[in-house]
């Protein structure tokens, strides 16, 4: 794990926030502006990731839970937006579907992970 000073960490995280703000406010996902918007977002994401490396944070349990169901949030958000065009309703529907998906689909498969994590080697 890299050792990052507090000052460097602050510069990385601040720069990431500023870049993300500029990209969101002035950038575009298509047209000529996307030529600088996408690299700015990629750079900000890298700075955010590097700035967060090694931090020991005590995350709220709600965020930890959302992290557990995050794959479902990613998979189901477009479908929820098509079912409910209201963004708040779609967000709530996405969370409910993702929680159910995690409980009844993902967790059973995750429990099998230990069974198949070590593959014995066979030598003739």
Q: Is residue 121 part of a domain?
A: no
Domain boundary among 55, 76, 95: 55
Number of domains in the chain: 2
Query: pLDDT at residue 76 above 90?
Result: yes
Query: pLDDT at residue 112 above 90?
Result: no
Q: Is residue 83 part of a domain?
A: yes
Do 75 and 41 share a domain, yes or no? Answer: no
| Percent share of the chain, pLDDT over 70 | 94
Average pLDDT over residues 1-5: 82
Give the model's pLDDT for residue 113. 78
Cα distances from 63 to residues 4, 55, 115, in angstroms, run 25, 16, 29
Do 44 and 79 share a domain, yes or no? Answer: no
User: CA 5: distance to chain centroid?
Assistant: 25
Give the model's pLDDT for residue 95. 97
Tokens 């992290």, located at residue:
67
Record the pTM. 0.60
| Confidence band of 123 (pLDDT split at 50, 70, 90) | low
| Confidence band of 35 (pLDDT split at 50, 70, 90) | very high
Do 110 and 63 share a domain, yes or no? Answer: yes
The Cβ of residue 96 has, within 10 Å, a number of other Cβ atoms equal to 14
Do 15 and 26 share a domain, yes or no? Answer: yes
> Residue 69 belongs to what domain range?
58-114
Do 36 and 71 share a domain, yes or no? Answer: no
Mean of pLDDT over the chain:
91
Q: Is residue 119 part of a domain?
A: no
């Amino acid at each position: 794990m890299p050792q990052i000073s507090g000052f460097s960490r602050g510069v990385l995280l601040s720069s990431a926030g500023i870049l993300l703000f500029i990209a969101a406010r002035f950038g575009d996902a298509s047209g000529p502006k996307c030529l600088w918007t996408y690299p700015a977002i990629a750079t900000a994401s890298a700075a955010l990731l590097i700035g967060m490396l090694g931090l020991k944070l005590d995350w709220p349990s709600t965020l930890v839970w959302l992290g557990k169901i995050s794959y479902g949030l990613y998979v189901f958000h477009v479908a929820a937006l098509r079912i409910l065009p209201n963004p708040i309703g779609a967000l709530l529907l996405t969370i409910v579907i993702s929680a159910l998906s995690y409980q009844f689909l993902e967790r059973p498969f995750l429990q099998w992970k230990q069974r198949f994590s070590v593959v014995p080697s066979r030598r003739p």
